[in-house]
Homo-oligomer: A and B are copies of this chain.
Amino acid sequence: MRHMTASPRVRMSPDSRREQLLDLGVRLLATRSIDEISIELLAEEAGISRGLLYHYFGNKQDFHRAVVRRAADELIEVTAPSSDTDPLVQLMLSLGAYVEYVTDNFEGYVSLVRAAASGDEGMREIYEEARAALTDRLFEVAGREQLAALGVTDSAATRLMVRGWSALTEEVVISWVRSPAGVSRDDLLQRLAHGLVALVRDPA
């Protein structure tokens, strides 16, 4: 039963206030889509006036972008690459961490993906960066030689398919978490990992 006491006025340091608002934004993202987070709602939930938000973020769009960026950063951090030498093992581990994140953080993750697909250009840019960060590191650890050994060469077509695989993975994992339908976690990871290799391998 909070909110009963309309505390008079709390003056915080700009940093902690900003932090508080961003955290709250990410937390709210688990319950509603990004554009259901109105300034109105956020201000009330944070116990501040609407006007204050504009002291920290230029406008609603800016705030939304900042929230999404933070959520994306969390995702990237949590699914950080391990230090295994075998690129396929590496891939499986990363995928596993990713699946775990989506599982534990389902609603929030869905909101993140949705936000990325919104009309806003800057929003999509943020998400593109995050996606790139997630996939690029998979290829960085595997040297050019190791990739060649798998029948993979770097090319525009390859990059295109990797991008596609990202979209596939998102869709499949979200769908799987919603209803696994008897598909085991290991099977899922196997198919995704092998899928990437198959999609990216040079045509015979």
Total identical chains: 2
Closest Cβ neighbor of A166 among chain B residues? B171
A148-186 CB mask vs B (1 if < 8 Å, else 0) is: 000000001101110111111111100110000111000
CA distance A121 to B114 in the complex (A): 12
**Cβ-neighbour of A157 out of B163, B170, B187, B199 (below 8 A):** B187
**Cβ-neighbour of A163 out of B119, B163, B175 (below 8 A):** B175
User: Within 8 Å of chain B (Cβ to Cβ): is A118?
Assistant: yes
Q: Which residues of B sit under 8 angstroms from A165, Cβ to Cβ?
A: 168
Q: Which residues of B sit under 8 angstroms from A188, Cβ to Cβ?
A: 157, 160
Q: Which residues of B sit under 8 angstroms from A199, Cβ to Cβ?
A: 168, 191, 195, 198-199
CA distance A111 to B35 in the complex (A): 17
User: Within 8 Å of chain B (Cβ to Cβ): is A80?
Assistant: no
CA distance A86 to B161 in the complex (A): 25
B175 touches A171 (CB 8 A): no
Closest Cβ neighbor of A170 among chain B residues? B167
User: Within 8 Å of chain B (Cβ to Cβ): is A58?
Assistant: no
**Cβ-neighbour of A172 out of B111, B114, B118, B161 (below 8 A):** B161
Measured CB to CB, the residues of A under 8 A from B are: 32-36, 111, 113-114, 117-119, 156-157, 159-161, 163-172, 175-176, 181-183, 187-188, 190-191, 194-195, 198-199, 203
